[in-house]
Amino acid sequence: MTEMTASAAPFRRPDLSEAHLRRRYSAERRFKAYGIFAIAAATAMLLVLLSSIVAKGYTAFSQTYIALDIALDADRIDPSGDQDPQVLRKVKYQPLAKAALRDRFPEVSGRRDKRALSKLISGSADVTLRKFVMANPDTIGTTQTIWVKASDEIDSLRKGHVDRGAQESDRLVSDQALEWFDHLETDGAVDLRFNTTFFTAGDSREPEQAGIWGATVGSFLMLIVTLALSFPVGVLSAVYLEEFAPKNRWTDFIEVNINNLAAVPSIVFGLLGLAVFLNFFGLPRSAPLAGGMVLALMTLPTIIIAARAALKAVPPSIREAALGVGASKLQTVTHHVLPLAMPGVLTGTILGSARALGETAPLLMIGMVAFIVDIPGGFTDPATALPVQIYLWADSPERAFVEKTSAAIIVLLGFLIMMNAIAVLLRKRFERRW
Amino acid sequence: MIKHSLVVAALAGLALSATAASARDQIRIVGSSTVFPFSTAVAEQFGKTSDFKTPVVESTGSGGGMKLFCSGIGVEHPDITNASRRIKASEFEKCGKAGITITEVKIGFDGIVLANSKANEQLSLTKQQIFKALAKKVPVDGKLVDNPYKMWSEIDPSLPSKKIEVLGPPPTSGTRDAFVELAMEGGAKTFESLADLRKSDKKAFKAVAHGIREDGAYVEAGENDNLIIQKLQANPNALGIFGFSFLDQNADKIQGSKVEGVEPTFENIADGQYGVSRSLYFYVKKEHVGVVPGIAEFVAEFTDEGTWSEDGYLVDKGLIPLPDADRKAMGASANGMAPLSM
């Protein structure tokens, strides 16, 4: 053997000359520089993305309010005087707010101008007043100062999204409305407050009344279904394949298919969900149950692959020791291997469900990309999901939805970062290196 | 054990849902993305002011909505479908075969505008110029050739000497269908050779009139009209095609081009002067009225004067209402659930 190599290749001396060494060092420096450049480029892109979203979206967390002295006319609200909540609930309160606004600007006349004036406040003044009157029925007949929401245009104006210097035709807010707004502001009747509606309401066509709570609940219900299905099925299949299954052509075939399934575009799962869950099993459209089942199919391969990797990482000595002291195969797995692999399994599950949380394409086919105002109360109620809400708002003509879209993205990113942080934490705390 | 109970719970959930699917107390609406902003506004108002649940509105496109709508009677099928064009004969037949009686409600108009950034001058185009700029094949000296025009000024010296660059919706969009039918076909008809072709071979004419060039001058910008508006701002030389409501909401950034000398304004579209406008509809499944609660009341809300007239709230969303007389007649036939016949 030694003779052969010696004869085939003559002994080569390493070139230790100064010039060659320098070349090798500079090659290494260049390589490092490329790496740093790549990281810097990626970080810069991420920063641009995040800062543009935050810069556009942070204003959505506050909302402009206007104070109005509203005459709670007893004849109009409660003619019988018995403060019956059934009667109080049915009253139309919006005209009261409009009347208060007209009293504030008595010089405004003409139908067109009055209409323009009433557009300063949001259509949700109705709800605000109803709540106030029902909570304080004794105020009926008096005049109260009540803060109502400003309309989306006035809200944009207050937040500085409207260019005051522009021509009137180039501006969303007319000169007239600008003047009214300035009057209100100098009187201290305009205030920017925290936007609770954004976190408590469902979708709305009016930007100032729209919230993400409905979509968040929908996403949450869907994730419960997804996890309840994909976690047990995924872990059980991983345990069987890794610990019990014989290594033959069939298990190879299954393994290849699971890996393939992980790479299938998510819209395909949506089509499958439409054909099987909706059309064959007759599950309701737009329901988190169907959505969760589709997403469970999608996350299943991810969980199986991660769980198998985690099981594989448990050293054979553990199994052998357990078997050696007389544990059965099942006891070995449930008492030793699975608990040791759990941090890895959970990490995979969390990452899989984080992907499910950000998915819209499969939901399109099963009717979850829809305008839904009511907050879903159960697994079969119509619901949307957070990314769907972002998509719907991004497509709305009203300008004020731009900031809502970015704010919803911030919330969704917050959830994703939280889930990934939990995954990292689990790995850091519980994973054992052998 | 925990896993067992989870599986059992999931199965129980399945069983529960099967019973839940057999009853529905919420109106389901599908259909056109153009009608979506109006339909959702009415749905929200309806949910707020009535004792019924807020209807669920899905944006599936006119064609997709019709497919779902006509697939049958029963709570798993939608009650109402929106359309940015009239129901086709083939769709009507399909609905009829499924035993569905349809009530048609025309709700108003939507103008399709060609717009550019305010940073540039406003264009004034004729339908023929639009056809010349966007068609795949145009007649030059009586012969059909691949579109040779690269600059607007090559079409007509009065137009600016700028590259033809138009952002518009993809073929799946109802807006594109309407644009092609109204603007492109209207332009094609003005050529003598094509007008003759239309008389002799309708199919061949349509192929020419509806063919949009694919050499990069027309860019399919997706269904998202907000995206087109953003691109128009970034590129003042480009022209965009989208619905009037988006022009209305972005009047501070973009301007609509005149078509045949008429500016796309609310008034001009409403009285029919602006040539590129279409009617919007929704269709009600009569068999579901009384089965799914609230359908008749929803139609009443939609056809209320406070909703769809010039003083109604849909005008704020960009709808261009029907003329008074038409609206009255349409409201009466809608609330009477008059069956559609074709």
pLDDT in tens, A239-298: 999 999 998 999 999 999 999 998 899 999 999 999 999 888 888 888 999 999 999 999
Please tell me which residue of chain A has the smallest CA distance to B252: A170
pLDDT value for B75 = 86
Band of the pLDDT at B9, cuts 50, 70, 90?
Answer: low
Taking only the tens place, the pLDDT of each residue in A55-101 is 999 999 999 999 999 888 888 888 887 888 888 877 778 888 888 88
Q: Nearest CB to A374: which of B41, B54, B225?
A: B54
pLDDT of residue B188: 87
Q: Is the pLDDT of residue B15 over 50?
A: no
Please give the pLDDT value at position B172.
67
Give the mean model confidence (pLDDT) for residues A350-376.
Answer: 90
Segment of A104-118, A216-230, B73-87, B260-274 carrying the highest mean pLDDT? A216-230
* Beta-carbon count within 10 A of A137 CB: 16
Cross-chain Cβ contact A172/B317 below 8 Å: no
Q: Check residues A29 and B161 and name the one with the higher pLDDT.
A: A29
More confident: A321 or A174: A321
- Contact between chains at B17 and A394 (C-beta distance less than 8 A): no
User: What is the per-residue pLDDT for B63?
Assistant: 86
Which comes out higher in pLDDT, residue B182 or A110? B182
- Residue A118 pLDDT greater than 60, yes or no: yes
The tally of domains found in chain A comes to 2
Q: What is the predicted pLDDT for the residue at B17?
A: 46
- Reported as a single tens digit per residue, the pLDDT across A294-325 is 999 999 999 999 999 999 999 999 999 999 99
CA closest to A127 among chain B residues: B48
pLDDT at A8: 58
Q: Is the pLDDT of residue A6 over 60?
A: no
| Position A93 in a domain | yes
Domains B25-109+279-335 and B111-277 share a fold: yes
CA distance B151 to chain A (A): 28
**Contact yes or no for B17 and A380 at CB 8 A:** yes
Under the banding of pLDDT at 50, 70 and 90, the label for residue A112 is confident
Q: Are A173 and A281 found together in one domain?
A: no
B54 vs A372: CB contact, 8 Å cut-off? yes
CB contacts of A278 in chain B (<8 Å) are 76
Q: Which domain holds residue A280?
A: 213-430
Measure in Å the smallest separation between the Cα of B295 and chain A Cα atoms: 17
Q: What is the pTM of this model?
A: 0.81
pLDDT of residue B4: 55
Q: Which of B6, B44, B252 sits opposite A228 (nearest CB)?
A: B6
A253 shares its domain with A318: yes
Same domain membership, residue A222 and residue A136: no
Q: Which CATH number belongs to the domain containing residue A333 in this structure?
A: 1.10.3720.10
If asked whether residues A295 and A182 sit together in one domain, one would say no
**In a domain? residue A99:** yes
Classify residue A285: in a domain, yes or no. Answer: yes
pLDDT at B269 over 60: yes
- Measure in Å the smallest separation between the Cα of A21 and chain B Cα atoms: 51
B111-277: in CATH 3.40.50.300: no
Surface-to-core class of residue A34, CB atoms within 10 Å of its CB (0-12 exposed, 13-18 middle, 19+ buried): exposed
Residues A85 and A170 in one domain: yes
Q: What percent of chain A has pLDDT over 70?
A: 98
Show residues of chain A in contact with B228, CB under 8 Å: none
Q: Which of A289, A367, A397 sits opposite B246 (nearest CB)?
A: A397
- Rounded to whole angstroms, the Cα distance separating A398 from A286 reads 25
Given the DSSP bridges, would you call strands B166-168 and B218-220 parallel, antiparallel or unpaired? Answer: parallel
Q: Which of A161, A195, A229 is the last residue of a domain?
A: A195
A285 contacts B9? CB cut-off 8 A: no
Compute the nearest-CA separation of A330 from chain B (Å): 14
Nearest one of B307, B286, B285, B265 to B107, comparing CA atoms: B307
Tell me the pLDDT band of A413, cut-offs 50, 70 and 90: very high
**Of B124, B30, B201, B54, which Cα lies nearest the Cα of A201?**
B54
A155 and A253, same structural domain? no
Say yes or no for a CB contact (<8 Å) between A289 and B17: yes
Nearest to B169 by CA among B160, B178, B182, B159: B178
pLDDT category at A410 given cuts 50, 70, 90 is: very high
Domain extent listing, chain B: 25-109+279-335, 111-277
Who has greater pLDDT, A356 or B316? A356
Cβ–Cβ gap A397/B53 under 8 Å = no
Same structural domain, A253 and A171: no
Q: Are the Cβ atoms of B56 and A286 closer than 8 angstroms?
A: yes
Q: What CATH number has the domain spanning B25-109+279-335?
A: 3.40.190.10
**pLDDT top residue among B284 and B34:** B284
Contact B6 A231 (CB under 8 A): yes
- pLDDT confidence band for A7 (50 / 70 / 90): low
In a shared domain, residues A163 and A220: no
Residues A366 and A217 in one domain: yes
User: Looking at the domain assignment, is residue A171 inside a domain?
Assistant: yes
The reported pLDDT for the residue numbered A332 is: 95
A379 CB neighbours in chain B (<8 A) are 13, 16-17
Q: Which residue in B58, B113, B250 has the most chain A C-beta atoms within 10 A of its own C-beta, making it the best mutation to test that interface?
A: B58
CB–CB contact B56 A371 (8 Å): yes
